[in-house]
Amino acid sequence: MYGSIGGWMFNMYLKSFSNHGNKEASLMIRALLKSSDIMYRSVYNVSRPEDFDELRQNQNFLYSITKRLVIEALSDANSSRKSLASVLTSLDMSIEQITTAFVGIFQESVEPVSLTLTWALYHLARSPEVQEIFRKKIRKIISLSNYQPNLKRQRIPNRQYLEDPEIIEYFNKIIAETFRLNYPTIGLKRILQTSRIISGYSIPANTLVSTQNQLVGRMAKYFEDPLIFNPERRFEFKSMVLMPYGIGRVCGGAWFAKKIMLIALVNMVSSFEISYNYEDIGYINKLYNQPSRRIILTMKETKI
Name the residues that contact ligand HEM, by CB under 6 A.
5, 104-105, 108-109, 112-113, 116, 184, 188, 244-246, 249-253, 256-257
- Residue at shortest CB range from ligand HEM: 253
Pick the closer one to ligand HEM by CB: 55 or 260: 260
Contact 178, 120 (CB under 8 A): yes
| In the complex, minimum distance from the CB of residue 207 to ligand HEM, in angstroms, rounded to a whole number | 16
Half-sphere exposure of 233 (CA within 13 A, CB side): 22
Separation of alpha carbons 267 and 195, rounded Å: 49
Pick the closer one to ligand HEM by CB: 43 or 251: 251
| In the complex, minimum distance from the CB of residue 244 to ligand HEM, in angstroms, rounded to a whole number | 5
Contact 304, 147 (CB under 8 A): yes
| In the complex, minimum distance from the CB of residue 146 to ligand HEM, in angstroms, rounded to a whole number | 28
Instruction: Name the CA dihedral angle for 17, 294, 124, 177, rounded to a multiple of 10 degrees.
Output: -100
Separation of alpha carbons 287 and 43, rounded Å: 9
End-to-end CA distance of the chain: 27
Is 251 annotated to bind a ligand? Reply is yes
- For residue 225, is it left (φ>0), alpha (ψ between -120 and 50) or beta? left
Separation of alpha carbons 156 and 23, rounded Å: 29
Instruction: Return the closest-CA partner of residue 73 out of 63, 64, 84.
Output: 84
Rg of the chain on CA atoms, in Å: 21
Separation of alpha carbons 43 and 37, rounded Å: 10
Phi, psi dihedral angles at 249 (to 5 degrees): -80, 110
Contact 65, 2 (CB under 8 A): no
Separation of alpha carbons 103 and 213, rounded Å: 26
As annotated, the binding site includes: 251
As annotated, the binding site for heme includes: 251
